[in-house]
């Protein structure tokens, strides 16, 4: 019988992966694009980035809106390349790389679908003013759906390559990692949302949509592993053992994410405005 992963370490790794992904989207993505476009950063929370865009051109505003997703895609690409490096063992670090790449991919692809279907969010801003409107939104919806399916297949294939069981046992093994990570992401995001200064609407649009909807493939994706052709075992078997370093990192990440960034960090007081 295969050994089961240490649940506390799995939770800790999931906390770190989800919180960093959120900061990649809001801070590195939107915040970095804001600086490049010449706007003044004002506020960063776990669910939104605000900047003074009054002096920014229309194309610059669209670039800032797209920045979050672009940063997620770049992070996923870089991490995916790291996953390809040969290893003798696959532990908590390997699980982090897989989950970080997966969450970044799923949230990026999910955002295309979300904005295309609802006319809300970053990509609704990117295509605003482009005509015919229905063509652009339909394009976002189709692009997002295809990208989400391909991202899910890739993620579950990568996970399956690192599992040694077969059939229902392989799906059960995958659930211990994937579904746990899905639940953790939702809990941490909604906990931070309790302090969100933008109110319930921001929590609904960003927190619930991104954490529960955007990463939903973590919950249903393991079912693809009933097919033995998805992720045939090739890499060292994944096993996350108890690791207090990851547990400490997860505690610090959760506390900072919820209680510090959750209530908002005033960036205009840090002197980040472009000269």
Phi first, then psi: give them for residue 40, nearest 5 degrees.
Answer: -100, 115
Q: State both tokens at 239.
A: 């096993």
CA 93 to CA 99: how far, in whole Å?
A: 10
The stretches of the chain forming alpha helices (DSSP H) are 7-23, 32-37, 58-83, 92-118, 122-127, 133-160, 168-193, 200-202, 217-220, 244-255
Query: Do 35 and 56 contact (CB within 8 A), yes or no?
Result: no
Cα(first)–Cα(last) distance of the chain, in Å?
62
- pLDDT band at residue 234 under the 50/70/90 scheme: confident
pLDDT single digits (tens) 169-225: 999 999 999 999 999 999 999 899 888 887 766 776 666 676 778 899 999 999 999
Q: State both tokens at 210.
A: 């991104």
Phi first, then psi: give them for residue 67, nearest 5 degrees.
Answer: -60, -35
- pLDDT computed for residue 273 by the predictor: 54
3 closest CA partner among 203, 193, 237, 269:
237
Q: What is the mean pLDDT of residues 250-256?
A: 98
CA 33 to CA 30: how far, in whole Å?
A: 5
Mean pLDDT (the chain) is 92
Q: Where are the beta strands (DSSP E) in the chain?
A: 40-44, 49-52, 265-266
- pLDDT computed for residue 25 by the predictor: 96
- C-beta pairs of 137-142 under 8 Å, 24+ apart in sequence: 140/112, 140/113, 140/115, 140/116, 141/112, 141/113, 141/116, 141/117, 142/116
Q: What is the mean pLDDT of residues 144-159?
A: 97
Conformational region of residue 4, where left means phi above 0, alpha means psi within -120 to 50, and beta covers everything else: beta
State the residue for tokens 């690409």. Answer: 77
Q: What is the mean pLDDT of residues 40-69?
A: 95
Query: Do 44 and 206 contact (CB within 8 A), yes or no?
Result: no
Phi first, then psi: give them for residue 195, nearest 5 degrees.
Answer: -105, 0
Residue 1 has pLDDT above 50, yes or no: no
Q: State both tokens at 126.
A: 């990117």
What single DSSP character describes residue 24?
I
């Amino acid at each position: 019988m295969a050994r089961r992963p240490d649940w506390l370490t799995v939770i800790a790794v999931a906390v770190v992966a989800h919180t960093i992904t959120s900061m990649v989207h809001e801070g590195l993505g939107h915040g970095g694009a804001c600086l490049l476009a010449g706007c003044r950063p004002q506020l960063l929370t776990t669910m939104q980035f605000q900047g003074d865009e009054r002096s920014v051109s229309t194309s610059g505003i669209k670039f800032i809106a797209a920045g979050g997703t672009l940063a997620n895609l770049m992070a996923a690409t870089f991490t995916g390349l790291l996953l390809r490096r040969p290893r003798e063992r696959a532990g908590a670090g390997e699980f982090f790389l897989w989950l970080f790449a997966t969450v970044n991919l799923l949230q990026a692809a999910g955002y295309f679908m979300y904005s295309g279907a609802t006319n809300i969010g970053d990509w609704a801003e990117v295509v605003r003013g482009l005509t015919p409107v229905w063509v652009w939104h339909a394009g976002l919806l189709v692009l997002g759906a295809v990208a989400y399916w391909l991202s899910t297949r890739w993620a579950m294939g990568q996970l399956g390559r690192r599992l040694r069981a077969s059939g229902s046992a392989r799906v059960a093994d995958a659930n211990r990692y994937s579904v746990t990570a899905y639940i953790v992401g939702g809990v941490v995001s909604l906990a931070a949302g309790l302090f969100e200064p933008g109110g319930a609407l921001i929590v609904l649009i960003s927190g619930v949509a991104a954490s529960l909807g955007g990463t939903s493939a973590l919950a249903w994706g393991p079912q693809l592993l009933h097919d033995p052709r998805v992720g045939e075992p090739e890499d060292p078997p994944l096993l996350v053992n108890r690791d207090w370093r990851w547990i400490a990192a997860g505690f610090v990440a959760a506390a900072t994410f919820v209680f510090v960034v959750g209530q908002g960090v005033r960036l205009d007081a840090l002197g980040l405005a472009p000269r």
